[in-house]
């Protein structure tokens, strides 16, 4: 097992499902206006980890059939 540390301010990238997009439209629609945060063509959404958890936390539970991210994957964007 490999151990790593991730800060809550780490930038993350997810590919939204239609369900995930609906959640963002409801909870923080202003983020969809930013080209740095959301790409309409690819449905790639970028945000800090803490804000991602705040936005999607209620729907992130084992066995939920409605998933907000494709393949339930969150990519951590490392600082360069």
The two tokens of residue 43 are 């449905």
User: Is 90 exceeded by the pLDDT of residue 78?
Assistant: no
* Whole-prediction pTM: 0.86
The CA-atom distances, in angstroms, between 4 and each of 52, 53, 61 are: 19, 19, 22
pLDDT of residue 79: 63
The two tokens of residue 51 are 């804000």
- Terminal alpha carbon distance of the chain: 25
Return d(Cα 46, Cα 31) in angstroms, integer. 9
User: Is 60 exceeded by the pLDDT of residue 80?
Assistant: no
pLDDT tens, position by position, 25-77? 999 999 999 998 999 999 999 999 999 999 999 998 888 889 999 999 999 99
Sheet holding 38-39, edge to edge: 38-39, 44-48, 11-15, 75-77
pLDDT of residue 57: 93
């Amino acid at each position: 097992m490999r151990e790593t540390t991730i800060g809550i301010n780490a930038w993350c990238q997810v590919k939204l499902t239609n369900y995930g997009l609906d959640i963002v439209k409801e909870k923080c629609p202003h983020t969809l206006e930013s080209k740095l945060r959301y790409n309409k063509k690819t449905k790639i959404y970028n945000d800090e980890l803490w804000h991602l958890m705040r936005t999607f936390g209620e729907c992130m539970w084992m066995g939920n059939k409605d998933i907000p991210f494709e393949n339930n994957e969150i990519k951590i964007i490392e600082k360069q």
